[in-house]
Amino acid sequence: MTLVERVGVYIGQLCESIGVSAEQIYHPSTNAWYFSNGNTTIEVFVTTQKGPEGSSDHFIRCMAPLCEIPKDIMRQFALFRTVLQINAKYMGYKITADEERGILCVVAERNISGMDYHEMVEMIDYLGHWANKLDKFLAEEFAAR
Instruction: Quote the pLDDT of residue 126.
Output: 95
Amino acid identity, residue 14? Answer: L
Q: Average pLDDT in the 118-122 region?
A: 97
pLDDT of residue 144: 46
Query: If 0-12 CB within 10 Å is exposed, 13-18 middle and 19+ buried, where does residue 91 land?
Result: exposed
Cα 68 to Cα 105: distance, rounded to the nearest angstrom: 9
Task: Answer yes or no: pTM beyond 0.85.
Answer: yes
Which CATH fold would you assign to the domain 3-142? Answer: Yope Regulator; Chain: A, (3.30.1460)
Q: Place 143 in a pLDDT band, splitting at 50, 70 and 90.
A: low
Query: In whole angstroms, what is the distance from residue 32 CA to residue 42 CA?
Result: 10
Q: For the chain, what is the mean pLDDT?
A: 93
Calculate mean pLDDT across residues 87-114.
95
- pLDDT at position 145 is 44
| pLDDT class of 140 with cuts at 50, 70, 90 | confident
